[in-house]
């Protein structure tokens, strides 16, 4: 599908990557952009339609989808990371919270908007994932699990929505220069670069975005012996990229 004249629903749209999506969609000629956030008053972009939405609230998502019946591009961007290993004292609570936002959020949104997209010609879904869909770090085990689950969801959506003509794009990326990675002294990709790659993939009908060198290195290493997921070291990977 084409970005120009599209009607787009973006979650987590008030800052970071979500804000960059909103700005670049308008610049690329989207006809309407619904900018969703828990606190829509924090969205300070002219020309968008702010929407109050908590992506962990399935009932609210269903209600919003019934209102926004003109959407033909859904961007599941909202995400959290609590930086927890599986043996940390709060690991179970962190895992539940991350799964609610990072997995169940896109699941609810995709289920709610799939009929809307079908009615509007098929359209597209973009799921913002991570290089940590494929590898894990000692301090991010619960986050990686949520993104792996979201990757599996994305792969199902590709097959499950193929008959209605819905394009499904996964965006895998390492460190993005946003509040989420503040304090990490490693190279970071700019949000606008990730967004431009993603919108190009939608325009060109592609299914996957590998947005930085580390992500491309990890994807290529999944079939290595031993697999990169057995040996992954974040700092070493950035040094080698």
pLDDT digits (tens, 9 = 90+) for 26-55: 999 999 999 999 999 999 899 999 999 999
Catalytic residue numbers, as ranges: 143
pLDDT band of residue 241 (cuts 50, 70, 90) is low
pLDDT band of residue 231 (cuts 50, 70, 90) is confident
User: What pLDDT does residue 55 have?
Assistant: 98
Which is it for the CA torsion 10, 13, 17, 23, positive or negative? positive
Q: H or E element: which one contains 143?
A: helix 141-160
User: What pLDDT does residue 185 have?
Assistant: 63
In whole angstroms, give the CA distance from residue 148 to residue 151: 5
Question: 127, 167, 166: which is closest to 149 by C-alpha?
Answer: 127
Query: Average pLDDT, stretch 146-168?
Result: 98
Give the tokens for residue 9: 């629903």
Which is it for the CA torsion 55, 60, 62, 63, positive or negative? negative
User: What pLDDT does residue 182 have?
Assistant: 63
Query: Average pLDDT, stretch 133-160?
Result: 96
pLDDT band of residue 83 (cuts 50, 70, 90) is very high
User: What pLDDT does residue 181 have?
Assistant: 60
In whole angstroms, give the CA distance from residue 234 to residue 194: 19
Determine contact, residues 34/68, Cβ cutoff 8 Å: yes
Give the tokens for residue 172: 């895998």
User: What pLDDT does residue 233 have?
Assistant: 80
pLDDT band of residue 101 (cuts 50, 70, 90) is very high
Question: 152, 136, 15, 150: which is closest to 83 by C-alpha?
Answer: 136
pLDDT digits (tens, 9 = 90+) for 103-116: 999 999 999 999 99
In the numeric block, the tokens 């940390």 are attached to 88
pLDDT digits (tens, 9 = 90+) for 59-76: 999 999 999 999 999 999
Question: 186, 203, 202: which is closest to 241 by C-alpha?
Answer: 186
The chain-wide mean pLDDT, for the chain, equals 94
Determine contact, residues 54/28, Cβ cutoff 8 Å: no
- Residue 185 φ then ψ, to 5°: -90, 65
User: What pLDDT does residue 134 have?
Assistant: 97
- Residue 239 φ then ψ, to 5°: -65, -35
Determine contact, residues 51/60, Cβ cutoff 8 Å: no
Query: Average pLDDT, stretch 123-130?
Result: 98
Q: Is residue 28 reached through a cis peptide bond, with omega within 30 degrees of 0 on the bond before it?
A: no
Domains and CATH numbers, the chain: 7-212 (3.40.50.720)
| Alpha-carbon 238 to chain mean position | 22
Query: Average pLDDT, stretch 171-178?
Result: 90
- The packing angle between helices 16-27 and 191-204, to 10°, is 50
What is the percentage of the chain residues whose pLDDT exceeds 70? Answer: 93
């Amino acid at each position: 599908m084409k970005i120009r004249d599209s009607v787009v629903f973006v979650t987590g749209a008030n800052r970071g990557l979500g804000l960059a999506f909103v700005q670049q969609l308008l610049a690329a000629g989207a006809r309407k952009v619904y900018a969703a956030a828990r606190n829509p008053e924090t969205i300070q972009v002219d020309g968008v339609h702010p929407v109050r939405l908590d992506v962990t609230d399935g009932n609210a998502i269903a209600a919003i989808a019934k209102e926004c019946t003109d959407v033909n591009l859904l961007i599941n961007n909202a995400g959290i990371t609590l930086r927890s290993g599986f043996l940390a004292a709060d690991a179970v609570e962190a895992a539940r919270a991350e799964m609610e936002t990072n997995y169940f959020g896109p699941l609810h949104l995709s289920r709610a908007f799939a009929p809307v997209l079908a009615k509007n010609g098929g359209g597209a879904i973009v799921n913002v994932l991570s290089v940590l869909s494929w590898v894990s770090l000692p301090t991010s085990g619960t986050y990686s699990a949520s993104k792996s689950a979201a990757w599996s969801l994305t792969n199902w959506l590709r097959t499950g929505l193929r008959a209605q003509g819905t394009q499904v794009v996964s965006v895998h990326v390492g460190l993005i220069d946003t509040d989420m990675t503040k304090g990490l002294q490693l190279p970071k990709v700019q949000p606008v670069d990730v967004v431009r790659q993603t919108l190009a993939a939608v325009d060109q009908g592609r299914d996957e975005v590998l947005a930085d060198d580390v992500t491309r290195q990890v994807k290529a290493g999944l079939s290595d012996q031993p697999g990169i997921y057995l040996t992954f070291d974040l700092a070493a990977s950035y040094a080698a990229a």
